[in-house]
Chains A and B, each alone.
Chain A
Amino acid sequence: MTAHARRLDPVDVAIVGLGAAGGIAALVLTQAGLRVEGIEAGPHLGRDEARFDELANDYRNRLGAAKANHEVPTWRPDSSTEATTSYDGRIVSLMGNGVGGGTVHYAGQHFRLAPWHFRLRSAVEKRYGGSALPADCTATDWPVSYDDLEPYYALVEEELGVSGIGGVNPFEGDRSTSYPLEPLRRTGWTELMAAAARRSGLHPFAGPAAIRSAPHRGLAACTYCGFCNWNGCHVGAKGSTHVTVIPRAELTGNLTLTTKARVVAIETDAAGEAAGVTYVKDGETLFRPARAVFLSAHTFENTRLLLLSRSTAFPRGLGNTTGQVGRNAMSQVFVGVDGVFPGMSLNRFGGTYPQATSLDDWNADNFDHTGLGFVGGGCISAIHEAKPIQTALSTPPSVPRYGHAWKRWLATNGNSVGRLMAISESLPYDDSFLDLDPTVKDPTGMPVIRMTYRLHDQELRRFDFLHARMSELLVEAGAAETWTSFRRLPAAPFQSVFGATRMGLDPEASVVDATCIAHDVPNLAIVGASSFPTSGGYQPTATIQALAWRAALRLIETLR
């Protein structure tokens, strides 16, 4: 146990990190009558603190100022290369800190995974044979199916007020209910791309968003201001947990919110069970005894806290009895293509990123992969929310990147550029893992995470394939020229690292079970994209929250 910690009164459950997963857990646990402390490293930001400020939000990650910006992981492509402090010398998409976590400034695309994503390995081997996945690929089927998660997906959609339309996307899993709200407004741009997709024989639909198209449960609707992605919402119209589930959890009277408090260790007792957490607040070290611990601090911190919580019973750290913590990490790959539509005012400045035309024709196994050299794919979206700095930074390679010609091009075309983004599947491999950096420390003296990861052939080919499909689609819609807006990074943005505490049935090959409970600590839930065995071809948060709901129910059972 950490020395010198002042002992506090016990609670039933200590939640570490009140973001997407922690917020859901707070709701479910407190509504079941459990006394919960939510311990959050960042502040409690009000919606009046939302700022229309692209520079501070999008380019300086203002909302990560409390913690994430000061513990940027180091990265290396393989074990024989020295790790560097972030792979291109600057912060790329780190997470936010504060009540609500990453849901404060996420874009709010809210996709369920498709049934296929949960059984990628077995489905691939069945259709394409045992050698379709490379020998060093460690992907496993998930220990849960789409049907197992479906009820929780539906509950989360209702709590957040998700806007969307069911039954239009032929590739989605069966839904027990429709979305609580109609899709976000359609626009000139979304309809232009939908028409082009239909002409190409594809199946476009209005992408689901955790952004309210109409008021819901007393919370406001979206005003399409154009500051969603990276920004907190100025009217509280996003499904961010600090405006939805966390206030509802507070209404029970069972939630204590402790902000600006950083958990430094999860403690265990002689029986090998979690005994509570040690955290630092206002310079003081405190120990909160708890009957169970819910760890939901995002991939890097989940991994770091587990590895640092060593004891005689757990010499390699918690959850790590079989040495699996940190293994099977993967970095989701974003693919972006822009196109210019000369003479057209596309008016993409307003609106929100997930106010999109999306399509799944190139996702999962919705197309024949024979001979392609990769499996899976990604969801493609035609998005809104073009902000000025972003617009100026993405010009075609045929135009100089500065000077007179560059300015002239922007004057003519700045409002005529359309953007497609794809979120591509990625798979884990033998040589991809997270561990503690042996030398680099954060300002508190804790080692930062070191990421060993490179894009493998599957990921490279999938990137190129989606890139080509998006370019074709833009041309079909009338683009005169297309180019890469989101280049193929050596790794990928740091908000989207998955795996490292993956779920599975076999304790020798995973860290948590099918309900996200640590194999070796029965009262410790570890939840987040860190639990994903494979990334899935969408943004992760809907699935993180469905898993969190299930894990919370499981802890309630355990504590009964």
Chain B
Amino acid sequence: MAEQLSPADRSTLAVLLDGIIPADEHGPAAVELGVLAFLERGLAEDTPGDITLLRELATAAQDAVGADHAVEELGTTDVAVLLATLDREHPTAFELLRRRAIEGFFADPTYGGNLDEASWRLIGYPGPKGTFTAADQEFA
């Protein structure tokens, strides 16, 4: 049986993910897009080995804000500072989370992290289609 995230780690990672992929005029933030669900499905299916680094990252985030506060209470600016700290001090674990976030956000929507093809619209990717014509491959 693959291991699951604890509720505390889960809500910490949710905050980090929303900092990595924030809401803006192009669409909602990571959790609403389904990226957290994507991450958890990965733990259950094809990337169970991620659990150790993800726990390490959640713990590091909780330690960084201190015992008197919770990661969930942080405002946007403080989350950005926290992400920069984690990126610097836990580069392997942070890069793993960033990578999984991007995979979930930019993968086919059937994986559950790319709600309404939000990421594809962001970069102008028309979505998979069986044929690209000559005109499709010219400069627009």
Q: Using a CB–CB distance below 8 Å, which chain A residues touch chain B?
A: 52-55, 59-60, 89, 185, 187-189, 192, 223-227, 234-235, 344-347, 349-351, 384, 388-389, 391-393, 401-404, 407-408, 410-411, 414-415
Contacts and interface: CB of A to CB of B under 8 A. Distances in A.
B130 A347 contact: no
A347 B99 contact: no
A345 B108 contact: no
A349 B111 CA distance: 20
B15 interface: no
B139 A350 contact: no
Contacts of A53: 107-108
B59 interface: no
Contact of B137 (A52, A55, A347, A415): A347
B139 A344 contact: yes
A185 B107 contact: no
Nearest to A414: B123
Contact of B131 (A189, A225, A404, A411): A225
Interface stretch (B6-14, B16-24, B60-68): B16-24
B80 A411 contact: no
A460 B102 CA distance: 30
B73 interface: no
A403 B123 contact: no
A59 to B, nearest CB: 6
Contacts of A55: 103, 107-108, 111
A224 B98 contact: no
Given A347-B140, A350-B136, 16 more contacts: A89-B92, A188-B138, A224-B137, A225-B130, A225-B132, A234-B130, A345-B139, A347-B138, A349-B132, A388-B125, A389-B107, A402-B83, A403-B20, A407-B26, A407-B122, A408-B24
A50 to B, nearest CB: 10
Contacts of B128: 52, 225-227
25 contacts: A52-B108, A54-B106, A54-B107, A54-B108, A59-B103, A185-B134, A192-B139, A224-B133, A224-B136, A224-B137, A225-B131, A226-B128, A227-B128, A344-B139, A345-B140, A346-B139, A350-B136, A384-B137, A388-B119, A388-B120, A392-B123, A403-B80, A403-B83, A407-B26, A407-B122
Q: Report, as a range, how many residues of chain B touch the other chain.
A: 35 or more
Contact of B119 (A59, A227, A392, A403): A392
B16 to A, nearest CB: 10
A325 to B, nearest CB: 32
A224 B122 contact: no
B70 to A, nearest CB: 21
A195 to B, nearest CB: 13
A59 B107 CA distance: 10
A414 B137 contact: no
Contacts of A401: 87, 98
A392 B106 contact: yes
Contacts of B134: 185, 187
Nearest to B80: A403
Interface of B: 19-22, 24, 26, 46, 80, 83, 87, 92, 98-99, 101-103, 105-108, 111, 119-120, 122-126, 128-134, 136-140
Contacts of B99: 393
A345 B124 contact: yes
B122 A414 contact: yes
Nearest to B101: A402
Contacts of B130: 223, 225, 234-235
Given A55-B111, A225-B131, A402-B83, A391 B125 contact: yes
Contacts of A407: 21-22, 24, 26, 122
Contact of B21 (A188, A225, A402, A408): A402
Nearest to A347: B137
Nearest to B102: A392
Contact of A226 (B24, B119, B132, B139): B132
A344 B137 CA distance: 13
A351 B92 CA distance: 34
Q: Which of B108, B120, B134 has the most CB of A within 10 A?
A: B108
Given A407-B122, A414-B125, A185 B137 contact: yes
Contact of B22 (A351, A403, A411): A403
Q: Which of B24, B108, B120, B124 has the most CB of A within 10 A?
A: B124
A426 B119 CA distance: 38
Given A59-B103, A401-B98, A407-B24, A225 B129 contact: yes
Nearest to A52: B128
Nearest to A416: B124
B109 to A, nearest CB: 11
A548 B68 CA distance: 68
Given A401-B98, A403-B80, A415 B132 contact: no
Contact of A402 (B26, B98, B126): B98
A117 B136 CA distance: 38
B92 A404 contact: no
Nearest to A65: B46
B137 A389 contact: no
A212 to B, nearest CB: 14
Contacts of A392: 102, 105-106, 119, 123
B139 A388 contact: no
B139 A393 contact: no
B124 A404 contact: no
B61 to A, nearest CB: 14
B7 to A, nearest CB: 24
Contacts of A351: 132, 137
Nearest to B76: A404
B123 A415 contact: yes
A350 B137 contact: yes
